Amino acid sequence: MIVTIDGPAGSGKSTVARAIAAREGLTYLDTGAMYRANAWACLDRGIAPDDEAGAASVAEACTIEFVPEGESQRVIFDGVDVTEAIRTPEVEAVVSVNSAIPAVRDAMGKRQKAIAAGTDIVCEGRDMGTVVFPDAEVKVFLTASPEARARRRAVQRAGGDTAKDATATADESSVQEILESIKKRDEYDSSRETAPLKPADDAVMIDSSDLSLDEVCDKISALIAKAREASERKHEQGDAVPLAEAAVESDGAEGDKPAKADVVAKADKPAKKDKVLEPMKIVGNSYEDYYAHPMADYPLHAKATLGLLVGLVGGLSKLFFPWRLEGADELAEATRDRGAVIVMNHTSMLDPVLPVVSLYMRGCHVRPIYKSEFDKIWILKWAFARIGAIPIKRGSADMKAMRWATAALKAGESILIYPEGTRVKDDSESEIHGGFALIAQRADAPVVPIAIVGARDITPRGKHIPRPGRVFARIGEALHLSDIEGSRKERVAKLEKLVMERVFQIRDALRREHPGKM
């Protein structure tokens, strides 16, 4: 689902978009920050902000990351933290001119689509509903009188927050000064040729001048609820989406794109077909091809390598660490059409072998999700791609990995996630990395807990030479988001907690049944 919130400076877009993201469990994208960062980089590198070629080359070559920090996020431009630097008056003074350059908008628009592809997101900006996401399910155009907007900005600059204190006031001369600058910027943003600030024809207009933050959010939440209902109706009617579309890059279109909130008739519109994944080649496929394509489409030699690796690793591991995964038949049966998000405790490198090999022997694919740091070792990167594993960049919302995982699930492949992140050699409480329930939600897939014991004893803490020994693992009962009550955000959080509890319950039961195994 894509929610767009456009509007002029000071209309309250950022505050509203953040609040909606938190309320509805959506990713938040501040596109103004992207334009600000580009303007900052031009200033920093001595490029005139209106130098079209210079500004475009910065926009095309840069990297922009949003790193969550508490309730907000930090903006990292080409590896430099520019969170504060992009909010200075120097940047404010040039950002309109810089962001009006068509090639800059083009580069940023592509990035915005790539970030949003296949995710549930609220995108805030000027041209979200008109240019970048014309098919967004919910479009809002937020306005407020210039006076109300100037007062909010002035209060903000003085360190206050009108979202928390609606009656906060600021120094009148500063309000007037900001009012002038806002009027100028509005005029510029609305009259520029490329992507001028204007509401989309199908946007819902909300004037926030006399509304509290909660009142504005309630209106938008109602639109989102309506869009979700339309989406569920469409889903029930069996509107299946091909994997290729779900995984397609830079498309901006989510796989199971629901109908618009208020234009249900558009649900019948045929899905976009213009950006379908190219079939895999016999040779010369990129790593991303292996992550994005269903494993059934891998070229023959890759399938043979997979069979060989599974046979070799499966055989050797069974020889040295005789292992058993209880419940594999049932899981294979249950996941033939739609994969499951498999969640497991992590004690050793042997852990992923059990589900991958067991399900492969039953004709099902399991794609482990691994930390991208392993990609530095080329042989691992190569082998992991052949077994269908998907790298994930930790510490950031890795949208590509999310998209690949979602597409895999929809194609009937399961994904294997270790929320503990790294191998845990003792029973101390490890940090649980969330996110798996969101993937399950997007793919409408069940979450299956698995626990393993005995694998930690192979190479206990401080030892490096593996010791042979028996290993036991069990697949627990699946959980589905629809089994849980509450708001979407609550359900996602509860599901993650419940699944991890199940993993540890199964682990403890296995330990009781096999005394001495850890």
Binding residues for ligand DC, rule: CB under 6 A, are 9, 31-32, 35-36, 95-96, 99, 125-128, 185, 189
CB 448 within 8 A of CB 476: yes
Q: How far is the CB of 168 from ligand DC (least distance, A)?
A: 20
As measured in angstroms, the least distance from the Cβ of 414 to ligand DC is 38
Q: Of the two residues 35 and 291, which places its CB atom closer to ligand DC in the complex? A: 35
Tell me how far apart the 2 most distant CA atoms of the chain are, in Å.
Answer: 80
Task: Tell me how far CA of residue 42 lies from CA of 35, 45, 93, in angstroms.
Answer: 11, 5, 13
Judged by CB, which is closer to ligand DC: 185, or 442?
185
Q: Are 446 and 479 in contact (CB under 8 A)?
A: yes
CB of 132 to ligand DC, least distance (A): 7
Helix 399-410 vs helix 436-443: angle between axes, to the nearest 10 degrees?
50
Q: Whole-number minimum distance, CB 1 to ligand DC, in Å? A: 19
Report CA torsion sign: 286, 291, 294, 295.
positive
State in angstroms the smallest separation of the CB of 331 from ligand DC. 45
CB-based burial of residue 7 (10 Å sphere; 0-12 exposed, 13-18 middle, 19+ buried)?
buried
DSSP-derived 3-state class of residue 65: strand
Q: How far is the CB of 189 from ligand DC (least distance, A)?
A: 5
Half-sphere exposure for 438 (CA within 13 Å, toward CB): 20
**What is the rounded (10 degree) CA torsion for 190, 194, 199, 202?**
160
Residue 435, both tokens = 């996110």
Nearer to ligand DC, 32 or 469 (CB): 32
Q: What is the DSSP letter of 476?
A: -
User: Nearer to ligand DC by C-beta: 108 or 445?
Assistant: 108
Residue closer to ligand DC, measured from CB, 32 or 242: 32
Nearer to ligand DC, 73 or 99 (CB): 99
Give the type of residue at 328.
A
Query: Do the Cβ atoms of 388 and 231 come closer than 8 Å?
Result: no
CB of 127 to ligand DC, least distance (A): 5
- CB nearer ligand DC, residue 177 or residue 444: 177
